[in-house]
Amino acid sequence: MKKKLTSMLLALAMVSSLAACGNGGSSSGSDASTGSQSNSSSTSASTSTSTGAEPITLRIGYMPNYASLWGVLSAMNTGAFEEEGITVELWEFADGPSEVAAMEGGSIDLAYIGKGAHTLCIQGRAVVFAPSSVHTSDKIVVSGESGIESIEDLAGKRIAFNSGSSSESTMQSALTQAGLTEADVELFDMDVSYMVSAMVSGTVDAAVAWNPYTTEILNQVEGSKEIEFSNGSINLSSWICLPDYAEENHDTLVRFSRALYKGMDYGSNPDNWEEVAQWCADQTKTSLEANLAQTGDATWFDIATLTSNLQDGTMEGYYDHLQQDFLDGESITEDEVVDMSTVVLYDVMREALGI
């Protein structure tokens, strides 16, 4: 049974509890149309660039965690965007659906999304133009008092999730692998920023969140731990824009992607993780330690891996598998299944990589 937390009193109580718990994260974009603008941007592009292209400013949507920021901040801090004549304005959002809504409202141009929001791409609201990271296992954080030791133990438990995001797709994946349905658990649909206080207060037994919220729960809820599981699903994160934007701004996407990939090449090197984690910590106003802990959350793509994966079909396989995961988890219907080559701009990827 799903319960949508729409009570203003409950929302206010959760926000107050979260503040009292001393959450050091930066504020999430609460307005789906505008988000929260960051003070950080790349060095302003001069009138002449190394590519000879006109300088441009791009408004970028991100979420306040390492996975969202590692590539773009690496590109900003190593001068890759400046080489392309790109000035970046960062806008913070709580989740992928809010970012897509903001793009549709004209507030931002491009955005990073986790796995769950790819359903919006399949439904035609956005297109993917660059991959960011991938991992093949998922985690759910549970309280020490819940008695949950495996995903099968979720039966009858109270679970917090965020609809339309990677939280929902992870939750569905866990239930499917455990042989459970939504009727077997008590689901609470809430903003991910409320999950910390929901776990602290004991309102729920488990939360399907992402960092930095997962780390906050682990730090604040005594005895809490993560349950890891894998059912062969693919958990991808990507960079997206609106379909119309892609049609009208092909060269811009190539320039942005080319710079982004240079940043990813730098940021994916373990020798640079601490430096990149510090950039993420500065951006999100969280600790270096919290961001370093997130470096193990995924496989971070570098240029060599991206090139190989595009040449041998691995990347296409990732996105095809992703759609199948959504279909198996009933996040999309058979009628919504598409040819993923119409959703993922492989031509932009290849051009940006020079292959």
The last residue of one of the domains, among 204, 229, 254, is 229
Determine the Cα–Cα distance for residues 194 and 10; give it in Å rounded to an integer: 10
Asked if 212 and 111 sit in the same domain, the reply is: no
Cβ count near 335 (within 10 Å): 5
Q: Is residue 53 part of a domain?
A: yes
CATH number of the domain that 116 lies in? Answer: 3.40.190.10
Among 211, 229, 247, the domain boundary falls at 229
| The domain boundary residue, chosen from 212, 229, 246 | 229
Written as tens digits, the pLDDT of the chain (355 aa) is 555 443 333 433 333 333 333 333 333 333 444 566 654 444 444 444 556 789 999 999 999 999 999 999 999 999 999 999 999 999 999 899 999 999 999 999 999 999 989 999 999 999 999 999 997 567 899 999 999 999 999 999 999 999 877 788 788 888 988 999 999 999 999 998 899 999 999 999 999 988 778 888 999 999 999 988 766 678 899 999 999 999 999 999 999 999 999 999 999 999 999 999 999 999 999 999 989 988 988 899 999 999 999 999 999 999 999 999 899 888 899 999 999 999 999 999 999 999 9
Measured distance CA(30)–CA(171) in Å, rounded: 23
The answer on 293 and 148 residing in a single domain is no
* Rounded distance between C-alpha atoms, residue 6 and residue 202, angstroms: 18
Residue 325's domain comprises: 36-136+234-353
Residues 6+ apart with CB under 8 A from 305: none
Query: Looking at the domain assignment, is residue 259 inside a domain?
Result: yes
> Which neighbouring-strand residues pair with 62?
92
Structure tokens at 337: 């299944």
Contacts with 342 (C-beta within 8 Å, 6 or more apart), sequence order? none
Clarify whether residues 211 and 276 are in a common domain: no
* pLDDT for position 164: 79
Structural domains in the chain (count) = 2
Quick check: 59 and 91 in contact, CB under 8 A?
yes
Backbone φ, ψ for residue 279 (5° rounding): -60, -40
Tell whether 93 and 223 lie within a shared domain. Answer: no
- Identify the three-state secondary structure at position 147: coil
Residue count of the chain: 355
Amino acid at 7: S
| Residue 156 and residue 278 share a domain | no
Do residues 313 and 279 share a domain? yes
- Is 334 domain-assigned? yes
């370093």: which residue's tokens? 292
Instruction: Let me know whether 242 and 114 are in one domain.
Output: yes
Task: Extract the tokens encoding 164.
Answer: 């339309």
Burial zone of 218 (CB within 10 Å; 0-12 exposed, 13-18 middle, 19+ buried):
middle
pTM: 0.75
Tell me, yes or no, whether 31 lies in a domain. no
DSSP element (H, E) containing 310? helix 303-311
What is the rounded distance in angstroms from the CA atom of residue 119 to the CA atom of residue 135?
Answer: 18
Pull the structure tokens for residue 8. Answer: 């203003």
Residues 6+ apart with CB under 8 A from 282: 40
Q: How far apart are CA 323 and CA 341, in angstroms?
A: 12
* Pair 19, 142 in one domain: yes
Query: Which residue, 239, 240, 233, 243, is CA-closest to 326?
Result: 233
- Report the candidate in 152, 178, 36 with the shortest Cα–Cα distance to residue 102: 36
